[in-house]
Amino acid sequence: MWAKRPGNQYKLVCGVAYTGLPIATVISTKQGVPMLIRRKERKGYGTKKMVEGNFEAGQKCLMIEDVIVSGSSVYETVETLQELQLSVQDAVVFLDRQHGATANLSAMGINVVSVVTMTEMMAILLKHGLVDHTTHESVLEFISSHQDTSIVTKEKSSSKEGIQVMDRKKRSFKSRIATTNQPLARKLFEIMSIKKTNLCVAADVTTSKELLSLTEKVGPHICVLKTHIDILADFSQDTVAALKDLAVKHNFLIFEDRKFGDIGSTVASQYSGGAYKIVDWADLVTVHGLPGDGVIKGLASAVNGRTRGCVLVSQMSSSGTLTSEEYIKSCGKMAENHTSFVVGFVSQSSISGDPRFIVFTPGVQLNKTTDGLGQQYVTPRAAVFERGADVIIVGRGITQASDPVAAAKKYREEAFLAYEERVSIQ
Ligand code: 5BU
């Protein structure tokens, strides 16, 4: 690693906690270059210093790290050292997993050199017969389809430690509970990890009887039940009262896919008033970002102490959707500005790496690719593993199956397995 260092005249080396520390220690003693340690957590006693070691402002420091994925850990450390007026522009790492870290760090002014890249490592393993061709190819394919990591800097983040690492897809639902204060996001993470399901059923049926009977049957397999309450021919408040009882019995959230899309004052009335009184019974509702954040403020103004949240529709599943890249990005920003009410997104791609936000993906079915009316389907695995969905939304794949319970079990199993696989390897 020392031989690969990108420059010269380093007055200091600094290992990135934790595995970078012993490597930096060896380099420091062998090369006679003093070493710094940057704490992961600020000490609550003593000197309260974040960085230990002797240094002077302006000294050139080389960063040492074992493996980089997004580059976030390296950047966190560099940020602290730069605040202390140290000059840090170079890093040497052992293995570059090739998920965008070198580009991410380069955008932050940090030059990274690795001893070996994942592609090189795989070539070596293949040459020595330690992996087969199929594994080799699937790793290379995985690398090329996972270039979407990013780094969030202190200024961009408002999390407790000042740094929110953009690692949504690789974290377990359980570990993401601590990343958010939004009560329904926390509750949903908890339900998903306890019940071991990330399936949301879209209960698009037209009578209360069908709705309640379907919900009773699929209740044990879902984390969320999604409704379009205005397609019920016989809606009454009794229907939603019964639905709420089932939500308690089977531990799931109720999600009314109302897609609010008007000015704040109008949506506040639509949310709390009319025949449906959605705010009284729906934990979550969908919202279009189109009106700007007044729509979120309007809804939040009607909550009146209830525990409620919204999900921003940032990208639709239908063909010809007008949700452009620019629009998707703007929805992401809107969510960041309203984290007490926005639980996440409805999206077809990994819109955000922020672990606080839950990504729901509709347009999931095993046996079809379209419905003839613009809907486009992918499999549960493609939605979760490839596109980065946390929750899959399945309607007709379950409601119109000859055995909806068996179908629910199958979608549940596939989606959760894909999630477990995603978390284990990324
Ligand atoms: P399906 O039967 O699995 O196609 O039902 C999908 C459900 O998700 C249905 O209730 C739609 O209204 C909802 N949906 C969608 O399909 N695509 C989107 O982009 C959004 C919602 Br937003």
Is residue 88 located within the same domain as residue 175? no
pLDDT digits (tens, 9 = 90+) for 156-172: 444 434 445 778 999 99
- Evaluate if pTM is beyond 0.75: no
The more confidently predicted of residues 153 and 54 is: 54
Q: Is residue 108 part of a domain?
A: yes
> Within this chain, do residues 194 and 239 fall inside the same structural domain, yes or no?
yes
Residues 221 and 356 in one domain: yes
Determine which of 69-73, 363-367, 402-406 has the lowest per-residue pLDDT on average: 69-73
Which of 103, 130, 157 delimits the end of a domain? 157
* Band (23; pLDDT cuts 50, 70, 90): very high
Q: Which of 60, 217, 244, 259 is catalytic?
A: 259
In a domain, 343, yes or no: yes
Cα(201) to centroid of ligand 1, in Å?
A: 10
Q: Is 397 in the pocket of ligand 1 (CB under 6 A)?
A: yes
**What are the structure tokens assigned to 399, written together?**
């409601």
- Residue 333 Cα to ligand 1 midpoint, Å, equals 24
Domain CATH for 47: 3.40.50.2020
Instruction: Answer yes or no: do 183 and 264 share one domain.
Output: yes
- List of residues 6+ apart from 63 with CB closer than 8 A: 13, 14, 15, 16, 20, 74, 77, 78, 88, 90, 91, 92, 110
Distance from the first to the final alpha carbon of the chain: 24
Nearest CA to ligand 1 atom 14: 362
Q: How far is the CA of 364 from the centre of ligand 1 (A)?
A: 9
175 with 148, same domain? no
Minimum CA distance residue for ligand 1 atom 6: 395
Choosing from 122, 157, 192, the residue where a domain stops is: 157
Is 151 found in the same domain as 249? no
Domain assignment present for residue 214? The answer is: yes
**Ligand 1 atom nearest to CA at 315:** 19
Residue 363 Cα to ligand 1 midpoint, Å, equals 6
Beta bridge pairs of residue 256: 227, 285
Ligand 1 within 6 A of CB of 353:
no
Nearest CA to ligand 1 atom 15: 362
Residue 410 bears catalytic tag? no
Question: In this predicted model, what pLDDT tens digit does every residue of 128-155 receive, in sequence order?
Answer: 999 999 899 888 888 887 766 666 555 4
Q: Ranked by mean pLDDT, which of 10-14, 101-105, 107-111, 348-352 comes out on top?
A: 10-14
316 CB within 6 A, ligand 1: yes
Each residue's pLDDT tens digit, 285-299: 999 999 999 999 999
Domain extent at residue 416 = 171-424
Q: Is 100 in the pocket of ligand 1 (CB under 6 A)?
A: no
β-bridge mates for residue 286, sequence order: 311
Question: What are the strands of the beta sheet with 60-68, ordered from one edge?
Answer: 51-52, 35-38, 12-15, 60-68, 87-96, 111-117
Domains held by the chain: number:
2
Whose Cα sits closest to atom 19 in ligand 1? 316
Tokens of 384: 């979760």
Look at 152 and 123; give whichever has higher pLDDT. 123
Residue 3 lies in a domain: no
Weakest-pLDDT range from 97-111, 256-270, 360-374, 409-423: 97-111
CATH number at residue 372: 3.20.20.70
Say if residue 196 is in the same domain as residue 319. Answer: yes
Residue 184 lies in a domain: yes
Ligand 1 atom 1 nearest Cα: 395
78 domain-assigned: yes
Record the tokens describing residue 295, joined without a space.
């729509």
Whether the Cβ atoms of residue 359 and residue 392 lie closer than 8 Å to each other:
no
166-180, 233-247, 261-275: least confidently modelled range: 166-180
Residue 5 belongs to a domain? no
The CB of 317 under 6 Å from ligand 1? The reply is yes
pLDDT of residue 50: 84
Measured from the CA of 204, which atom of ligand 1 is nearest? 10
Please indicate, yes or no, whether residues 183 and 140 belong to a single structural domain of this protein. Answer: no
Check whether residue 245 and residue 380 sit in a common domain.
yes
Domain end point (choices 157, 190, 210): 157
Determine the residue of 317, 361, 378 to mutate for testing ligand 1's pocket, defined as the one with the most ligand atoms within 8 A of the Cβ atom: 317
Q: Are 152 and 221 found together in one domain?
A: no
Q: Which is the closest atom of ligand 1 to the Cα of 313?
A: 22
Q: Does 201 share its domain with 140?
A: no
Model pLDDT, residue 45: 57
Same domain for 259 and 348?
yes
